[in-house]
Amino acid sequence: MQFEDLRLSEPLLRAVREAGYRTPTPIQIATIPHVLDGKDLLGCAQTGTGKTAAFALPMLQRLSAKRGPIRPGVVRSLVLCPTRELAQQIVESFHTYGVHSGLGFAAIFGGVNQNPQVRSIRGGLDVLVATPGRLLDLMDQRLVSLAAIETLVLDEADRMFDMGFLPALRRILAVLPKVRQTLLFSATMPAPIRELANKVLKSPVSVQIERLSSPTPTVDHWVHHVEKPAKNDLLIELLAKSPRSRALIFTRTKHGADKVTRHLIGAGVNAGALHGNKSQGARTRALAEFKSAGTGVLVATDIAARGLDVHDISHVINYDLTNDPETYVHRIGRAGRAGAKGTAISFCTSEERGDLKSIERLLQQPLQQAGQSPAREHSSSSAGTAVATRPIATKRPWRNRNRRERL
């Protein structure tokens, strides 16, 4: 099937072609016709499956068909999502797909001065992408009206629940028009999300792409059994010897992300950090440099595990294993997108062995053993099956900061 087969208008088809897309993904094929028909929809799909275009394209077509004068401060469509980064990415997608539509889009989120965001709303908007907290702030200040909402999208609904946004969502939902189209997307469907869906959706169409929590099939999973003191040396060795495009490294804590980033920079690796303690400006710069390949390695907390849309990430490295198996799936889903091959590498200490077993149970397969830490030998009783390893070279030419890092 081609995009032309989905009843999309010529301006949208032109924008899709200009963006370099040729064939719709399964979720786009399953979703777009129903949204065009005005139906409510419950979509279950991992990030990286083309979900944003699945709701953005038909929304743009419906908005264009019914466009009229927009009153100041009034919003026609609302997309709610959990993080600033995801809000920025979604509004960028609307700008890309709606380049020939003449419609207006903006994103609002916390952590930055609200005045530019208020100015973007003042003249009225066709699509507002928002995080719940900042939207509530502006609603309480009477700076935005949701009385004319025609379409509501709840994106990454399970993530919003995990982050404690359910009370904020209830307050927002209470002021929306009862007659509207509602689309709810979630990577998982825990009981609270199903209850929410039952309340906000009317006779919805259900779309499920792949089984829940299924790993990206194009990603290879490896595990290194390594204790904490040897992690940094192992990380440097892997980055030095692995041909790659971009590498995303996950740590459990914000402090850990900064510490690993400093170590990498000290070793001559061009790296940046992304976590919640960074200012919004610093987060935006770090993400922009990573997207443009100005920085080839990004160290992040789980703020980047969901909704981070960066193409050509070849490696995801779990410097710290997560204790939530589904978070592991979301982390490694940053690689192997759009059918590309990817590699997921996890560092597992003796304390994290239980977390590893939980992940393997969810995947229904063991991670491939990559051996013990090359930096420090461990007995087979403490590190699993012993595998011959090579010591780390004592000379590291990549430590020269004047030498361009191969990323």
**The token pair that represents 130 in the structure block:** 């928002």
Q: Name the most confidently modeled range: 13-17, 281-285, 385-389.
A: 13-17
What are the pLDDT digits (tens) for 230-257? 999 999 999 988 777 889 999 988 899 9
Contact criterion met (CB below 8 Å) for 296 and 270? yes
Query: Which pLDDT does position 299 carry in this prediction?
Result: 94
**The token pair that represents 5 in the structure block:** 């087969």
Write out the H or E segment, with its range, that includes residue 125: strand 125-130
Q: May I ask the CATH architecture of the domain 3-208?
A: 3-Layer(aba) Sandwich (3.40)
> Strand 41-44 to strand 205-208: parallel, antiparallel, or no bridges (unpaired)?
parallel
What are the pLDDT digits (tens) for 330-378? 888 888 766 678 899 999 999 888 889 888 887 888 999 885 443 333 3
Query: Which pLDDT does position 215 carry in this prediction?
Result: 63
Mean pLDDT, the chain, rounded, equals 83
pLDDT above 70 (res 384): no
- The whole-number average pLDDT for the span 127-138 is 96
Give 130-172 as a DSSP string. Answer: E-HHHHHHHHHTT--B-TT--EEEE-SHHHHHHTT-HHHHHHH
What are the pLDDT digits (tens) for 70-123? 777 789 999 999 888 889 889 999 999 999 999 999 999 998 899 999 999 998
Q: Which band of pLDDT confidence, cut at 50, 70 and 90, is reported for residue 391?
A: very low
For the chain, which residues make up each domain, given as ranges?
A: 3-208, 219-399
Judge residue 95's burial from the number of C-beta atoms within 10 Å of its C-beta, 0-12 exposed, 13-18 middle, 19 or more buried: middle
**The token pair that represents 298 in the structure block:** 């990004």
Q: Name the residue type at position 7.
A: R
Within 10 angstroms of residue 29's Cβ, the number of other Cβ atoms is 18
Q: Which residue has the higher pLDDT, 151 or 286?
A: 151
CA distance 15 to 101: 9
Query: Which pLDDT does position 46 carry in this prediction?
Result: 67
- The whole-number average pLDDT for the span 279-305 is 83
CA distance 178 to 20: 38
Q: Please choose, from the candidates 148, 149, 187, 155, the residue with its C-alpha nearest in 3D space to the C-alpha of residue 46.
A: 187
Q: Which residue has the higher pLDDT, 16 or 307?
A: 16
pLDDT above 80 (res 397): no
Q: Which band of pLDDT confidence, cut at 50, 70 and 90, is reported for residue 292?
A: confident
The C-alpha R_g of the chain, in whole angstroms, comes to 22
- The whole-number average pLDDT for the span 304-309 is 66
Q: CATH number of the domain at 219-399, please?
A: 3.40.50.300
CA distance 122 to 205: 35
What are the pLDDT digits (tens) for 37-57? 999 999 987 666 789 999 999
Would you call 273 helix, strand, or coil by DSSP? strand
Write out the H or E segment, with its range, that includes residue 78: strand 75-80
Q: Using the 8-state DSSP alphabet, how is residue 319 labeled?
A: S
What are the pLDDT digits (tens) for 174-209? 999 999 999 999 887 888 888 999 999 999 999 987
Q: Please choose, from the candidates 11, 17, 16, the residue with its C-alpha nearest in 3D space to the C-alpha of residue 100.
A: 11
